[in-house]
Amino acid sequence: MHLLDMTAAELAEALAAKTVSAVELTRACLERIAAVEPKVHAFITVCAEEAFKQAADIDRRRLRGEPLPPLAGIPVAVKDNICTAGIRTSCASRMLQDFVPPYDATVVMRLKQAGAVVVGKTNMDEFAMGSTTEYSFFGPTRNPWRHEYVPGGSSGGSAAALAARAVPLALGSDTGGSVRLPAAFCGVMGLKPTYGRVSRYGLVAFASSLEQIGPMARSVRDLALLYDAIGGWDDYDQTTLPAEFIPTLPGLNKEIKGLRVGVPAEYFGPGLESAVREKVRSRLKVLQDLGLIVEEISLPTTEYAVAAYYVIAMAEASSNLARYDGVRYGHRAAGRDILAMFTRTRQEGFGPEVKRRIMIGTYVLSAGYYDEYYRKAQEVRTLIRRELEAAFTRCDLLLTPTAPVLPWMMGEKQRDPLTMYLADCCTVPANLAGLPGLSLPCGFVDGLPVGMQLLGPALSEPLLLRVAYHYEQAAASCHATPPEGGGAGGI
């Protein structure tokens, strides 16, 4: 097996056994990045010098016989809206193209404490606003399976880097599906945690009440390994939950027989491509063979989720992005007075999708429209949350498609942003309700990956990962073997 085809857990064992060094593994990742970047463009910044320093330090500590943390020497890619001390964090925007944070985000601090080696910052939709990773000031990311297709977004760079075998682990952020959608489109795994389970300190804000940093990987064990490293209370983020953090890795093998899986009819209705419907429904048999009880349920408020989500998300974006005014940091344009400077800075610094969302968000918050749009969206959010909570009194978890459609071709939806927004219909309810969601590969259609989603009640990450682990063992063929001519081998 090639070094970069190994999982993070397998690489950790090889490192501990000293059959490979952290420096050798880091060099292999950086060489792979250099080889695939011209076609995929998953990275904005590659941190070769810093990565080799971290790897060499891990090797020295291992040779001295020091006890090492679980991710010691494992390369990780970090989405470029997560702050890294001394390394550019651009949010894929001209506004922050030269911004170098003076501090690490909490998740980056925890990665370093766990011994991980940060090899680069991944491409994304500007300020995480998009579902395709086409809206980047630095150019789009392409799907490693078929380069003329999008990788999903906004964490498309992280998903593409994993699918291209450039790194074994990656971090993304999920505001309305931005971890799960690219995971589905690239045939990898992505977890959106319960709101408050992973610190947002150092995550550049888009929609603060919705977004969470989430782990991405190619196996469930790796996903659990990364989630356990970054989760838990953080003194720097008062929205993190004080509930005891229970590591998920030790419980992956626990029994799952008898668990009840709800299949919401609304997620399989009009708008869902038939090929996606057939592929996801075919996996229900795998779960039933594992002893799970599958039943159909109804979630009527689902049809209002996308509208409510985009009103709330754009309103919060309008507020959060007001800080980019050319005065304190980021891009600054020349102007004859402060108003002209402020106006030109925002005209030049933001791309078209970000401007669109700021304008809509400002509109729904304006006098005369606040009650009509923003307040109603928050009321719908409450209804969605209550409906999901009621569903989890009957079911242990829910199963849905991750996306209603297959990956689409580059440029296909740029002239019709509404159709792009509708691609989030399966993922936004979890963000509105603050619940965890996990996207798993469930096969291919015409050489393009399809993802299915597991949803659970608050703090049910151990359960979701346990079910996912058993499913992965039973349906390994869904994600282990690339279609002919595709995947990393075809790049």
* In a domain? residue 259: yes
* In a domain? residue 380: no
* In a domain? residue 188: yes
Q: Is the pLDDT of residue 485 over 50?
A: no
**H or E stretch including 466?**
helix 461-474
The reported pLDDT for the residue numbered 1 is 60
Q: Where does the pLDDT of residue 328 fall: very low under 50, low under 70, confident under 90, or very high at 90 and above?
A: confident
SS3 content of the chain, % helix, strand, coil (to 5): 45, 15, 40
Query: b/e for 416-432, b at 16 or more Cβ within 10 A?
Result: ebeebbbbbbbbbbbbb
pLDDT in tens, 343-377: 999 999 999 999 999 999 999 999 999 999 999 99
**Residue 197 · residue 459 · CB < 8 Å:** yes
* In a domain? residue 178: yes
pLDDT in tens, 255-270: 999 999 999 999 999 9
Output the six-digit token pair for 272: 């869902």
Distance CA 44, CA 51 (A): 15
**Residue 73 · residue 22 · CB < 8 Å:** yes
Q: Is the pLDDT of residue 304 over 60?
A: yes
- What are the Cα distances from residue 379, in Å, to 239, 302, 307, 386, 432? 21, 14, 12, 11, 11
Number of independent structural domains in the chain: 1
Give percent of the chain above pLDDT 90.
94
Residue type for 46, please?
Answer: V
The reported pLDDT for the residue numbered 491 is 46
Q: Is the pLDDT of residue 198 over 50?
A: yes
The reported pLDDT for the residue numbered 2 is 84
Query: Could you tell me the maximum CA-CA distance found in the chain, to the nearest angstrom?
Result: 71
Task: Transcribe 177-246 into DSSP letters.
Answer: STTHHHHHHHT-EEEEPPTTSB--TTBPPS-TTT-EEEEEESSHHHHHHHHHHHBS-BTTBTTS--SPPP
**Residue 213 · residue 171 · CB < 8 Å:** yes
Distance CA 359, CA 350 (A): 12
The reported pLDDT for the residue numbered 112 is 98
* In a domain? residue 57: yes
The reported pLDDT for the residue numbered 123 is 98
Please give the residue range of the domain that contains residue 61. 3-265+392-490
240-259 average pLDDT score: 97
* CATH number of the structural domain spanning residue 215: 3.90.1300.10
The reported pLDDT for the residue numbered 355 is 97
**Residue 245 · residue 252 · CB < 8 Å:** no
Q: What angle do CA 461, 207, 149 make, to 5 degrees?
A: 75
Residue with tokens 């006890």: 67
Q: Please list the active-site residues.
A: 79, 154, 178
Distance CA 459, CA 480 (A): 29
The reported pLDDT for the residue numbered 20 is 98
Distance CA 9, CA 376 (A): 46
Q: Where does the pLDDT of residue 478 fall: very low under 50, low under 70, confident under 90, or very high at 90 and above?
A: low
Q: Is the pLDDT of residue 483 over 90?
A: no
- How many beta carbons lie within 10 A of that of residue 38, not counting itself? 8
Torsion angles phi and psi, residue 276, rounded to 5? -70, -45
The reported pLDDT for the residue numbered 74 is 98
The mean pLDDT of the chain is: 95
- What are the Cα distances from residue 293, in Å, to 288, 394, 405? 6, 11, 27
**Helical axes 8-16 vs 22-40, angle rounded to 10°:** 150
* In a domain? residue 327: no
| Closest by Cα among 177, 166, 163 to 482 | 163
The reported pLDDT for the residue numbered 294 is 98
Output the six-digit token pair for 22: 């952290």
The reported pLDDT for the residue numbered 415 is 83
pLDDT in tens, 90-107: 999 999 999 999 999 999
* In a domain? residue 75: yes
Distance CA 131, CA 139 (A): 14
| Closest by Cα among 95, 133, 187 to 489 | 187
- How many beta carbons lie within 10 A of that of residue 31, not counting itself? 12
Q: Is the pLDDT of residue 481 over 80?
A: no
* In a domain? residue 284: no
Q: Is the pLDDT of residue 62 over 70?
A: yes
Residue with tokens 């992973």: 198
Distance CA 421, CA 461 (A): 26
Q: Where does the pLDDT of residue 416 fall: very low under 50, low under 70, confident under 90, or very high at 90 and above?
A: confident
Q: Where does the pLDDT of residue 419 fall: very low under 50, low under 70, confident under 90, or very high at 90 and above?
A: confident
Q: Is the pLDDT of residue 484 over 70?
A: no
